[in-house]
């Protein structure tokens, strides 16, 4: 049987510096109903950075993430991976966390984490260490034999993150994973995510609607506008790491939040009262 991949070396990450890991080049996406979701999207994702895709609903953030993951094809353009190949060729290097935990309700926490390893042909015995270490990373070792119905919303999301980490991905793609959680849980998971990135050593691409979350988490914020989806601003977040709750009270945090908020406001454009999207119903 295939064995799970070993943990990645942080020393090799440090040596890679800011080298591009994957790039979107001239990406267009038109859906079957004629909706132009993305147009001319160019985006480089570099080693070990934390990139937030920030923008209003309908701007194509999630679509761009799914194209990066190889879950849907682009209508035009290229996804260029360092070393060549497609997303399918790099499947073992990609972890994906959806907005909902999407756990199997009939399976234990450990078996939910085991799923991507099982799909790659890893036996349960050979996967045991990877499952245990993934649960330890998210602080759920004691809940390995629990079922999703016995967990809080935040704990379910931790299981989803552990499942994505089980293959030791090089890039972690996250589609608004904390949007449905209360503020206290969300702040706690923000801190946990930054810790995981430091300990695990991977690139993160994170979709969010929240200016405050994007500034707190990111090394770079990519602001997108809709109709069609496109990048309108990139904001580097030159704040020291590791970050703590104290960062939220600094002048730099406030300045970056105002800059991101202004870029987002410009991306959304003026409200059009004749547009159904702005109707009360």
- Burial of 116: CB neighbours in 10 Å, binned 0-12, 13-18, 19+: buried
Query: 10-106+172-269: what fold?
Result: Rossmann fold (3.40.50)
Q: Please state the domain extents for the chain.
A: 10-106+172-269
* Residue from 137, 140, 134, 212 nearest 179 by CA: 212
Mean pLDDT, 10 residues at a time, over the chain (281 residues)?
Answer: 45 51 95 93 94 93 95 94 85 90 95 93 92 93 96 95 92 93 91 90 94 96 93 93 90 96 86 40 32
pLDDT tens by residue, 77-110: 999 998 888 888 888 889 999 999 999 999 999 9
Question: Distance between CA atoms of 50 and 26, rounded to whole angstroms?
Answer: 22
What per-residue confidence (pLDDT) applies to 40?
95
Asked if residue 237 lies in contact with residue 191, where contact means CB atoms within 8 angstroms, the answer is no
Contacts of 176 by beta carbon, 8 Å cutoff, 6+ apart = 62, 99, 207, 208, 209
Q: What is the pTM of this model?
A: 0.87
What per-residue confidence (pLDDT) applies to 271?
52
């Amino acid at each position: 049987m295939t064995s799970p991949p070993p943990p990645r070396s942080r020393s090799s990450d440090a040596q890679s510096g800011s080298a591009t890991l994957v790039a979107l080049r001239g990406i267009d996406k038109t859906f079957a109903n004629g909706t132009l979701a993305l147009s001319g999207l160019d985006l480089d994702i570099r080693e070990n950075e934390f990139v937030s895709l920030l923008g209003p609903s309908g701007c194509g953030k999630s679509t761009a993430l799914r194209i990066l993951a190889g879950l849907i094809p682009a209508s035009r353009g290229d996804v260029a991976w360092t070393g060549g190949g497609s997303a399918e060729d790099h499947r073992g290097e990609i972890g994906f966390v959806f907005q909902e935990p999407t756990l199997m309700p009939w399976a234990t926490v450990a078996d939910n984490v085991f799923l991507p390893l099982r799909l790659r042909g890893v036996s349960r015995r050979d996967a045991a260490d990877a499952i245990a270490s993934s649960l330890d990373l998210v602080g759920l070792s004691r809940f390995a034999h629990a079922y999703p119905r016995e967990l809080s919303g935040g704990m379910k999301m931790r299981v989803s993150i552990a499942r994505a980490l089980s293959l030791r991905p090089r890039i972690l793609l996250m589609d608004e994973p904390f949007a449905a959680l209360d503020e206290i849980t969300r702040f706690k998971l923000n801190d946990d995510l930054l810790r995981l990135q430091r300990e695990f050593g991977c690139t993160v691409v994170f979709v969010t609607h929240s200016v405050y979350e994007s500034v707190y988490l990111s090394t770079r914020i990519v602001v997108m506008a809709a109709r069609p989806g496109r990048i309108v601003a990139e904001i580097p977040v030159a704040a020291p790491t590791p970050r703590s709750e104290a960062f939220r009270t600094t002048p730099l945090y406030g300045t970056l939040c105002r800059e991101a908020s202004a870029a987002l406001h410009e991306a959304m454009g003026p409200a059009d009262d004749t547009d159904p999207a702005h109707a009360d119903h």
